[in-house]
Amino acid sequence: MDTDIAKTQEERKRLEQQLASITSLTFDTDLYGGNDRDSYVTSIPVTDDDENLDSMDNEVARKLASYTAPKSLLKEMPRGAGAEDDNDDGFGGFKKPQRIIDREDDYRKRRLNRVISPERHDAFAAGEKTPDASVRTYADVMREEALKREKEETLKRIAKKKEEEEAAAKSDKATEDKGTKRRNRWDQSQDDGAAAAKKPKTTSDWDLPEDATPGRWDATPTPGRLGDATPSASVGRRNRWDETPTPGRLADATPAGGATPGATPAGMTWDATPKISGLATPTPKRQRSRWDETPATMGSATPMAGATPAAAASFTPGITPVGGVELATPTPGAINLRGAITPEQYNLLRWEKDIEERNRPLTDEELDAMFPQEGYKILEPPASYVPIRTPARKLLATPTPLGTPLYSIPEENRGQQFDVPKEAPGGLPFMKPEDYQYFGALLNEDDEEELSPDEQKERKIMKLLLKVKNGTPPQRKTALRQLTDKAREFGAGPLFNRILPLLMQPTLEDQERHLLVKVIDRVLYKLDELVRPYVHKILVVIEPLLIDEDYYARVEGREIISNLSKAAGLATMIAAMRPDIDNIDEYVRNTTARAFSVVASALGIPALLPFLKAVCQSKKSWQARHTGIKIVQQIAILIGCAVLPHLRSLVEIIEHGLLDENQKVRTITALSLAALAEAAAPYGIESFDSVLKPLWKGIRSHRGKVLAAFLKAIGFIIPLMDALYASYYTKEVMVILIREFQSPDEEMKKIVLKVVKQCVSTEGVEADYIRNDILPEFFKNFWVRRMALDRRNYRQLVDTTVEIANKVGVADIVGRIVEDLKDESEPYRRMVMETIEKVVANLGASDIDARLEELLIDGILYAFQEQTSDDANVMLNGFGAVVNALGQRVKPYLPQICGTIKWRLNNKSAKVRQQAADLISRIAVVMKQCQEEQLMGHLGVVLYEYLGEEYPEVLGSILGALKAIVNVIGMTKMTPPIKDLLPRLTPILKNRHEKVQENCIDLVGRIADRGAEFVPAREWMRICFELLEMLKAHKKGIRRATVNTFGYIAKAIGPQDVLATLLNNLKVQERQNRVCTTVAIAIVAETCSPFTVLPALMNEYRVPELNVQNGVLKSLSFLFEYIGEMGKDYIYAVTPLLEDALMDRDLVHRQTAASAVKHMALGVAGLGCEDALIHLLNYVWPNIFETSPHVINAVMEAIEGMRVALGAAVVLNYCLQGLFHPARKVREVYWKIYNSLYIGAQDALVAAYPVLEDEQNNVYSRPELMMFV
């Protein structure tokens, strides 16, 4: 039997190898080893060894993420060291990039390509006057844009023509190669050879090959060649490596007798002075050896020592006077040489003189003769200009070192220290290197009085902008105020010419941009109509904000453009942006469309409708139509349901775009209709009647992106229909959708999912239709692993599936995907779990039968145990939702679940332990429903043992789990007992981790509230001292829980000891600590009745320390706020204290006392304490003229409280005396109080108005108002 099996295995292996050799790559086995399957285990042993189990455990532990830093940080860590080059700080790898350009993609970076245009003509300011020729008008701008477009189209046509020609040439070549038979060397006949021999060889100058034309690196041309300076074809090109220069070969460096060194070499222009290269030697026709030449020849070419006069060295700087040393510089030894000049040198001098004569500068008379008399102006040369009279080649000669003056140290010039930043004068902020370009003028220490008024103004603007950009907050505040107040004085031009280039700076940071945009916003309000010539400039800079990835930047951009359009008016905005609507750059068109939508929302859609109609029907360019329709889309996105009044008009404007010849226009039209339908939902189906037919035809005829856009439009229109129509259209469109389920395009998938979700959720679509026609294909094509990898697909698929489940029920959906909880792909498991969680949370688990229930619990247990990623919340939420939905049906599975939890609580990985503890807190309520108190008690003991956990995140989860168990099991049945548990929690209160603090204080508070009697008073006092530290916590929830716990403890052990602790804490310096302490005192008073607290509190007011007294007053304020009506018993007791506080010199005393009076008055309204309140009102009223905003607010609120308690008539009597005071500031305060009285008690004031006597002409009395019921 075994031999048969072995034979079968061998046969299978041989066949696999054959198949592999046919279908796949094969490698050299001696290099790469044999078949990698040789190392596989071919059979499974019956029993696993303990070692195998250990290795499996280690593998699982390795896969599970341990408690460590988030992956995003770990990935960035290696960049930390190298990032210092890019960022000034050393935290490059951890810090979010501050520069805007660092986080922009290539599309957004195109904003830097735009040019800030010159200012334009303001037609409103000029009125009927003819615009100045130097100012750009609307017509000029349109003409420029038309030229740009024409140029672009011409270039495109040229490029297209070239491509066509290349393609045609390739096809011709291919056909030619195909048609002619390839000849080999045996195919040539004798006739061919004879004909070739008979053919005469005539050459013309024009027949020479193109290569004969000299390049810039070719051999120097010489006289006697064809074409004056064109080297003949027979001359080979000289390479720099062809010949090695040697001391003896001087003839190569000197022209021969017939050479013309003066001829203009290749690569030099006609008017250039010949350089030293003009003396280069032509390349010889054959390779020359240095032994070919006799000394006589050498002597005739280059004079030897004693043969050349000393002057020769100066005349021929390129030729070495000393033979045997090929130097380019005259050496000191050559000075004393004497000898006759050679013929070659004589010719060279003559030719040089001739060329210098030809290349001399032209005189004015010669230039006048050459140029027309009009249109040219003679410019004066600068005073410091000294022309070079000698040829350029003489500049190259190095002077002799003999007689050179000694080196002198140059004087230090402070202006030349480019690397050292200069100190900014006058207390200006520090400048960054990139700021010098814009603010460098401030570093010039010029006397400002000598500058012109315009220069002074510009300097002032620069100083203020530098303070705004780089200054400290106080500097920034004052500079902003000055810029705002003096905006009209500075003028729009100087301001915007300085601000806008700063915003285009490539190194701009987020904070700097925010501040500069704020400057523009403030300045716009002041400049108003003066801003018109600069509208386009501002838009160029602000429009990119509309597509910024930061939400707040987009909001800022919208606000600026909105204010700009209100200041400049619709006509100016249209004139500024109209040329950009059909710009050749798509980026410009996109930002312009968004800007127009903001203008529409600011000035109203009706004002823009005529313009939009004209643009959308433009015949000249499809870009204009495309941008016009995009404006409609952006309007719908921006203003939402506010499009409803104008919906029909907007649809009519763009409906023709569905049949446009250009594909992009059709696409944007469909997307705009989708945006309009989304904004109008659930109304407005009547407005879309005219587009239904073209949309319907379109989805049957289009493919790709256009089809996706059409489907999206239909998907948003169907939910607006009545149920009957919606059902019909859904069935019709579903045919197309099901076909597109198989589309590989990611964008199409998203749109199809969205449309399916919208159609399914529509009223009138039956569950049976969805179940039978949609679900099979839907799950087959979309519920695949790949969909879980892309986050956007993942989210859309989950939402669509949940929407389908709302129609067809839980069982149909969960039954199809429950098996996938055991899939090997974790992202896919997570997607399945999230879907099940949402479906079960929405619809409950009543539809789930026993078999599906088993599969579900089994699946979620597997998925929970197998997770390895950091994102554990999905699994936790899913587990919790399913268990809570099943309720008591989960009882049989609880032992298994708790076993898993206990095992995972003991895991090495901190993350696993944390998940296990979190799961206990999710399912504790269900365990109580299943009467599993014994199991919960056991879990409580297990958790108690883990309170020594070192990881704070895990410890926080363990405390949360204990809190959940204590909540449901009760104090009496809790194991371990509360008396053992609480002392164990006291040291944990010192932990500074927020999660630990929050869960621990909640647990302590719960025990103090429900089981205080189980713990001795001394332990509670110890906890009180620990709680004081927790009042410093940053998280508000922790501080709130702490002050509540003080109340519970005071209730348990009495207020005296707790109060003493709290009153001592009023003496600390930290304000937050004191405020929390006052709240705790008030809570103790509320819990234990005020009479237990007030005596000690009022006694504490005697301490002559501001912080303590303020703390007491604040406690009284909170106390009266909390006790409400109970305050009537204590109002007379605290009145003397409040009298003193309201007369104190310290502002904060009066502010806090006024706040206490407010709460007291509101608490005792209608309880007969008016005498005390009027007494206190007399102390509050003198503070109405305070200028401090905090004090005046507190005083006004106290008066409002008095209005409620005493009635409006009493306060009006106080108010009347100052309403008509001669001093404006006094009147303003009294009218402010009267206005708030009028708002709060308008009807009650009628009876209290003073009675005015009638005059001769005027009757003031109203007898009907005098009646009392």
Which of 985, 923, 983, 933 has the alpha carbon at shortest distance from 959? 985
Task: Using 50 as the pLDDT threshold, list the residues of the chain that sit under it.
Answer: 20-93, 182, 185, 187-216, 218-240, 242-286, 289-290, 293-338, 395
Contacts of 223 (CB under 8 A, 6+ apart): 258, 259, 260, 263
d(CA 1122, CA 1261): 46
CA 181 to chain CA mean position, Å: 64
Using only C-alpha atoms, what is the Rg of the chain?
46
CA 818 to chain centre: 39
DSSP type of residue 279:
G
Residue 143's CB is within 10 A of a number of other CB atoms, namely: 13
Residue 309, number of CB atoms within 10 A of its CB: 14
- Is 808 strand, coil or helix? helix
Give the DSSP per-residue string, 1104-1115.
--HHHHHHHHHH
Beta strands in 433-591 (DSSP E): none
Which residues are bridge partners to 509 per DSSP? 99
Q: Write out the two tokens for 565.
A: 């359009």
**pLDDT at residue 418 in the model:** 53
> Looking up tokens 């035809």, which residue turns up?
697
Query: DSSP states of 1138-1161 as a string?
Result: HHHHHT-S-HHHHHHHHHHHHHHH
* Helix (H) or strand (E) segment spanning residue 1212: helix 1208-1216
Please name which of 784, 770, 700, 792 lies closest in space to residue 742, comparing C-alpha atoms.
784
Alpha helices in 528-585 (DSSP H): 535-542, 551-568, 570-581
Mention every residue, 6+ apart, whose C-beta is less than 8 A from residue 304.
323, 339
Reference 99, options 114, 109, 110; nearest CA is 109
On whether the CB atoms of residues 628 and 597 are closer than 8 A, the answer is no
Task: Report how far Cα 239 is from the mean position of its chain's Cα atoms.
Answer: 56
What are the structure tokens assigned to 110, written together? 């195109």
List CB contacts of 329: < 8 A, sequence separation 6 or more.
Answer: 317, 397, 398, 400
1038-1092 per-position pLDDT tens digit? 888 888 888 888 888 888 888 888 888 888 878 888 888 888 888 888 888 898 8
For 1089: left if phi > 0, alpha if psi spans -120 to 50, otherwise beta; the answer is left
What is residue 124's predicted lDDT score, i.e. its pLDDT? 63
Q: Which of 687, 693, 743, 737 is nearest to 712 (CA)?
A: 737
**Is the Cβ–Cβ distance between 678 and 719 less than 8 Å?**
no
CA nearest 538: which of 561, 566, 515? 561
Using an 8 Å Cβ cutoff, are 519 and 560 in contact? Answer: no
Name which of 1251, 1255, 1241 is nearest 1207 in CA terms.
1241
Block residue for tokens 């798509």: 586
Give the closest residue to 892 by CA, choosing from 941, 848, 935: 935
Cβ proximity of 265 and 280 under 8 Å: yes
d(CA 901, CA 790): 32
Q: What residues form DSSP beta bridges with 120? A: 136
The token pair at 474 is: 């106080």
886-916 in b/e form (b: 16+ CB < 10 A) is beebbeebbeebbeebeebbebebbbbbbbb
Half-sphere exposure of 279 (CA within 13 A, CB side): 21
CB contact at 8 A, 1062 and 1081: yes
Nearest-angstrom CA–CA distance, 585 and 581: 10
Instruction: Say which amino acid occupies 534.
Output: Y
Q: What type of residue is 898?
A: C
Distance CA 243, CA 400 (A): 29
DSSP string, 311-379: HHHHH-TTS-SSTT---SS--GGGTT---PPPHHHHHHHHHHHHHHHHTSPPPHHHHHHHS-SSS--PP
Work out whether the CA dihedral 230, 236, 238, 239 comes out positive or negative.
positive
- Alpha carbons 1247 and 1209: distance in angstroms, whole number: 8
Residue 114, both tokens? 């735009």
List the one residue out of 643, 649, 666 whose CA is nearest residue 613.
649
The pTM for the full model equals 0.64
For the record, the structure tokens of 880 come out as: 């919790």
Q: Which helix (H) or strand (E) holds 944?
A: helix 933-945
Please tell me whether the peptide bond between 682 and the residue prior to it is cis, using omega within 30 degrees of 0. yes
The pair phi, psi for residue 509, each rounded to 5°, is -105, 165
| Axis-axis angle for helices 826-843, 850-866 (nearest 10) | 140
- pLDDT at residue 598 in the model: 96
Using alpha carbons only, what angle is made at residue 346 by residues 344 and 347, rounded to the nearest 5 degrees? 65
Q: CB within 8 A of 10, min separation 6: which ones?
A: none
User: Minimal CA–CA distance to 760: which of 747, 771, 770, 750?
Assistant: 770
Q: DSSP character for 1253?
A: P
How many angstroms separate the first and last alpha carbons of the chain?
A: 117
pLDDT of residue 250: 41
Instruction: Give the residues across from 136 on adjacent strands.
Output: 120
What does the alpha-carbon distance between residue 519 and residue 521 come to, in Å, rounded to a whole number? 5
Residue 178: its pLDDT value, please?
60
Cβ proximity of 684 and 720 under 8 Å: yes
C-alpha separations of 52 from 43, 49, 822, 868, 908 in Å: 15, 5, 23, 21, 19
Give the C-alpha separation, 670 to 691, whole Å.
10
Give the number of other CB atoms < 10 A from CB of residue 311: 10
Instruction: Read off φ and ψ for residue 828, nearest 5 degrees.
Output: -70, -45
Strand partners, 99: 509
- The answer to whether 633 and 600 have CB atoms below 8 angstroms apart is no
